Amino acid sequence: MTDTSEPSPRVLVCDDSPTMRALIRSMLGPDYEVLLVETGEEALERAPGFAPDVIVSDLLLPGISGSELCRRIRKTAGLAEVPFILVTTLADATSRALGLEAGADDYLYKPLRERELRARVVSLLRLHRALVGLESRQHELETTNAALREAQAALVRAGKLASVGTLAAGLAHEINNPLSYIKAGARSLSVTLGEVERLATPPGGHAPAELTALLSDAREVAAEMLEGSQRLERIAGDLRVIASPDAPNDESVDPAEAVESAFLLVRSRFPALPRLDIQVEPGPPIQSVGRLLTQGLLPVVENAVQVSGPGGVVQVRIRQLNVGVEISIQDSGPGIPADVLPRIFDPFFTTRPQGQGMGLGLSVAYGIVHGLGGDIQVESRPGQGACFRVRMPRRNTARVGLP
Ligand SMILES: Nc1ncnc2c1ncn2[C@@H]1O[C@H](COP(=O)(O)OP(=O)(O)OP(=O)(O)O)[C@@H](O)[C@H]1O
Ligand SMILES: [Mg+2]
């Protein structure tokens, strides 16, 4: 009956009569591993260790009855689903109903017939295995389903980020052209101003004081224009990093400094801040772009400060990983509801009142962090704040993913 590659099925037999125990034992034959017990109490004690595949029990037992044994087995972790056969001489409908109500799967009447006992055990075993198989298939399907849903969400997010990326690339391109005129113009203006001053200065003398003052102002303006255009150039460069995820990142960056800069930038936007608790595990710097890492952390820090409020606390931990560092930012806000959580990195998703948020913060953070080869994830239980974890690779060639 049994497949030689599989262990013999285990049958727990509970009967107070030694004759019946011996009879059932011999009827089952050598195909089964059988444990014989005398009482329901003993059955309850030994069943978890024996882990039976089928239980065969007399209905009338000296202590707890067969149906009570069945009821308790149904409440025992790991045994609740084990097929249970009650054996009785009572053929009346009431005792049969009691047994079935207690969760028994089948009945056998005395006198027992070997062929019937074996047939019932085999059929219950088969049924049980089919059920277990179905359950594990269902579990597999649920897991696959969850993975598919996550993959689908990631695709949607990637699609939206790609549009943000295209927008960023377009902007960077559009900014660069007029920028080159402004920069060249500011430079040539400085030169021209110098030339004007030279022409206005009589040999051996001084240019009129009024003109000198005007020229000095104009030179300052030209210098500011140059500085402003250099800043714009950096912004255009940053936009390109958001647009193309594999931008070069080769500075030596101290992650703690990037976090501090982000807090410094946020400070000016809020009248009062929550308490800040930063713990840094010391480690070597990472290869990245410091300015961008700060920009990537900024929206997360900003949200954390905003939701925690002046009475709250924002905890930052910097941990060394084998492949890089993890920066976790935990706030003391209300947390993120489960239905909001999958959407927070979507561009233009916001739950803030109109006019108070664009819903761009986290999508920009996501774009920048990914652009630098890192990853950003969030965990949150309502009422317990949110924890954002940013993982950055130690070297610019590596990519880190969260498990
Ligand atoms: N720390 C947090 N706690 C609770 N909810 C958060 C937190 N961070 C983000 N969220 C939720 O995610 C949404 C999106 O955040 P995101 O920073 O992208 O946009 P925003 O803050 O609404 O607007 P913006 O940052 O553009 O001003 C928020 O509206 C909020 O619902
Ligand atoms: Mg925000």
Give the distance (Å) from ligand 2 centre to CA of residue 112: 74
Residues lying with their CB under 5 A of ligand 2, a single-atom ion: 303, 361
Ligand 1 binding pocket includes 359 (Cβ within 6 Å): yes
Q: Token pair for residue 393?
A: 């690779």
Most confident of 176-185, 320-329, 343-352: 320-329
Ligand 1 binding pocket includes 70 (Cβ within 6 Å): no
Secondary structure, 3-state, the chain: CCCCCCCCCEEEEECCCHHHHHHHHHHHHHHCEEEEECCHHHHHHHHHHHCCCEEEEECCCCCCCHHHHHHHHHCCCCCCCCCEEEEECCCCHHHHHHHHHCCCCEEEECCCCHHHHHHHHHHHHHHHHHHHHHHHHHHHHHHHHHHHHHHHHHHHHHHHHHHHHHHHHHHHHHHHHHHHHHHHHHHHHHHHHHHHHHHHCCCCCCCCHHHHHHHHHHHHHHHHHHHHHHHHHHHHHHHHHHHCCCCCCCEEECHHHHHHHHHHHHHCCCCCCCEEEEEECCCCCEEECHHHHHHHHHHHHHHHHHHHCCCCEEEEEEEECCCEEEEEEECCCCCCCCCCHHHCCCCCCCCCCCCCCCCCHHHHHHHHHHHCCCEEEEEECCCCCEEEEEEEECCCCCCCCCC
Task: Give the ligand with the smallest distance to the CA of 352.
Answer: 1
Q: Count other Cβ atoms within 10 Å, centred on residue 344.
A: 20
Matching fold, domains 10-112 and 251-393: no
Mean pLDDT of 315-331: 96
What pLDDT shows up at residue 314?
97
Ligand 1 binding pocket includes 352 (Cβ within 6 Å): yes
Ligand 1 binding pocket includes 299 (Cβ within 6 Å): yes
pLDDT grade, residue 2 (50/70/90)?
A: very low
Check if CATH label 3.40.50.2300 holds for domain 10-112.
yes
Residue of the nearest CA to atom 5 in ligand 1?
A: 336
pLDDT tens digit string along 256-307?
999 999 999 898 888 899 999 999 999 999 999 888 899 899 999 999 999 9
* Residues 6 or more apart in contact with residue 274 via CB below 8 angstroms: 304, 305, 308, 309, 310, 311, 312, 313, 314, 331, 332
Higher pLDDT, 335 or 100: 335
pLDDT grade, residue 65 (50/70/90)?
A: very high
Residue among 298, 316, 348, 350 to mutate when testing ligand 1 (max atoms within 8 A of CB): 350
pLDDT grade, residue 397 (50/70/90)?
A: low
Q: Hey, which CATH number is domain 251-393, 3.30.565.10, 3.30.70.100, 3.30.70.270, 1.20.1600.10?
A: 3.30.565.10
What pLDDT shows up at residue 232?
84
Q: Does residue 244 have a pLDDT over 70?
A: no
The domains of the chain are located at 10-112, 151-243, 251-393
Ligand 1 binding pocket includes 312 (Cβ within 6 Å): no
pLDDT grade, residue 76 (50/70/90)?
A: very high
What pLDDT shows up at residue 241?
61
Q: Does residue 221 have a pLDDT over 50?
A: yes
What pLDDT shows up at residue 402?
39
Task: Give the ligand with the smallest distance to the CA of 274.
Answer: 1
Pick from 225-239, 249-263, 325-339: least confident: 225-239
Residue of the nearest CA to atom 17 in ligand 1?
A: 361
Ligand 1 binding pocket includes 360 (Cβ within 6 Å): yes
What pLDDT shows up at residue 89?
79
Residue of the nearest CA to atom 20 in ligand 1?
A: 359
What pLDDT shows up at residue 317?
97
The mean pLDDT value of the chain amounts to: 87
What pLDDT shows up at residue 315?
97
Mean pLDDT of 122-141: 90
Q: Does residue 192 have a pLDDT over 60?
A: yes
Per the CB < 8 A criterion, the answer to whether 387 and 328 are in contact is yes
Residue of the nearest CA to atom 11 in ligand 1?
A: 344
Ligand 1 binding pocket includes 362 (Cβ within 6 Å): yes
Q: Does residue 400 have a pLDDT over 70?
A: no
Ligand 1 binding pocket includes 287 (Cβ within 6 Å): no
Q: Does residue 4 have a pLDDT over 60?
A: no
What pLDDT shows up at residue 249?
60
What pLDDT shows up at residue 378?
95
Ligand 1 binding pocket includes 304 (Cβ within 6 Å): yes
Give the distance (Å) from ligand 1 centre to CA of residue 166: 23
